[in-house]
Chains A and B, each alone.
Chain A
Amino acid sequence: MILNASGCLDALAAPEVARSLDAFVTKTVTPQPRQGNRPVRIAETEHGMLNSIGLENPGIEALVAEKLPRLVELGVPIWVSVGGFAATDFAELCAALDERDEVTAIELNLSCPNVDEAPESAAEIVVAARAETRKPLYAKLSPAAADVAEVARAVQAAGADGLSLVNTMRGLVLDTHSLEPTLGTETGGYSGPALKPIALAAVFRCYRATGMPIVGMGGITTGRDALEFLAAGASVVALGTVLFADPEAPARVQAELMTELSARGLDQPEDACGISHRAAATTVA
């Protein structure tokens, strides 16, 4: 199954791209509308890119009233990514979405490097969100946590149904000439191919620590990348930065993945989930 990574596709601006996905994930929505950060908001690096969009979004009310009805028409399952500055924000957002049948799952963005973090721990936020909704809850974690597997165990105990791994990591790009930060906010979130080994490690460790369903992302560009995320323990993969250069990536990655699977005698993506762990699971009799 292939999704987009939150914030990397506007399904209403590019419906044909959204329809090529197995589910569409919205950009993170907050309780109130947000203007986002001042420009410059993007900068390319040698092996990735930085962004400091700053969660520009219309707020939950406008999302539910104006965007959801139009998103439903795409005929693609919808996941809503929610974010906030306190556990109460997440609770409010989940309550607003709980009754919406058109919402398949909720992703809790616990890890945006471009906004201040909520004072509560990830687990406290999941508890607050869980109290307001029965929809599947995916906790999106930062790869920068000291021990991401520990955070994963904590959100599992708090009632999360799955994990989204990973969000961006903080990075800095300096202007070629002035040596001043290129981005308006100075630092921003680093995504793209450079993130892949870090993201794979997070998926690998969290799968082993929790066995939860994982949406794997971070630098996926090819079917081979997708296969590696599945092998490390992801059950679903999401495409982010690659969509900017290649809007046709979902169909391409899917086709490449099927070729990779059949070359290994595997019938479907599920058959690859967690196969990297086989060796580790073997014990001498």
Chain B
Amino acid sequence: MEGVGAYTLLRVERGGLEPGVPGQFFMVEAPGRLLPRPMSLCLAPAGELGFLLEGVGPGTRALCEVEPGERLYVFGPLGNGFRLDVERPLLVGGGIGIAPFPYVAQALGDPPVLLGFRSERHAEAAVLLPNAAVVVEPTYVTEPLAELVEDHDVLACGPEPMLEAVRALAPTAQLAWEAPMACGYGACYGCSVEIDGVLKRLCIDGPILEAA
């Protein structure tokens, strides 16, 4: 466990788990809670899996407080990751939406990155992506993005209003969406979202969706 700005990096032993495709997620046991929490894989150092956490509620706060040596049930990788066959990738992250990008960047050979945060303290997480251009509120990532979008294939992760704004600028972007998830493997129908008029389970048909 280590602090990264306002966030916490949780590293667990990999055991028999595969890291999967960048953008995929794991269901991570939240100590003392009934349901696990979906977490994007952030880093995949040898023999480990790394998750970047923002303590926003009881589950994530419990996870921010686990001690080395504690046992955690981790299930995955789940869902569909980013399509990596893009020619001019640009990673766009807002807040904790930075989480999947260190692993994505590794797979894509350090592509350009744009990150937006709500405070300087949150922005310290940009150390995970040394090449990143960083903006802090009141500037939003969509401002610098507007100038870059023409020449790039956008991969974005962040809060819903940010994803909507990115989609408006970059109609072909790959967007990482969130929905409350109880199971992460298609069992509960809790994460259904409407896509092109059809209901889909975000955990198995997403979480990465093409914008258009």
Contact = CB atoms under 8 A, between A and B. Distances in A.
Contact of B189 (A56, A245, A246): A56
A36 interface: yes
Chain A interface size, under 10 / 10 to 19 / 20 to 34 / 35 or more: 20 to 34
Nearest to A44: B35
Interface in A214-259: 241, 243-247
A193 interface: yes
Nearest to B201: A13
B203 to A, nearest CB: 9
B75 A10 contact: no
A8 B182 CA distance: 10
The secondary structure that dominates the B interface is loop
Contacts of B189: 7, 27, 36, 41, 53, 56
Contacts of B29: 245
B171 interface: no
B186 interface: yes
B187 to A, nearest CB: 5
Given A44-B59, A56-B199, A247-B75, A193 B34 contact: yes
A42 interface: yes
Contact of B186 (A10, A41, A43): A10
Given A43-B180, A244-B182, A10 B187 contact: yes
Interface residues of B, number: 28
B73 A39 contact: no
B11 to A, nearest CB: 22
A82 interface: no
A39 B180 contact: yes
A35 B199 contact: yes
A41 B187 contact: no
A244 B193 contact: no
A39 B187 contact: no
**Which 8 residue pairs of A and B lie closest in terms of their CB atoms, listed nearest first?**
A13-B186, A42-B190, A244-B183, A244-B182, A53-B189, A10-B186, A42-B182, A41-B190
Interface of B: 27, 29, 33-36, 57-59, 73, 75, 179-183, 185-193, 199, 201, 204
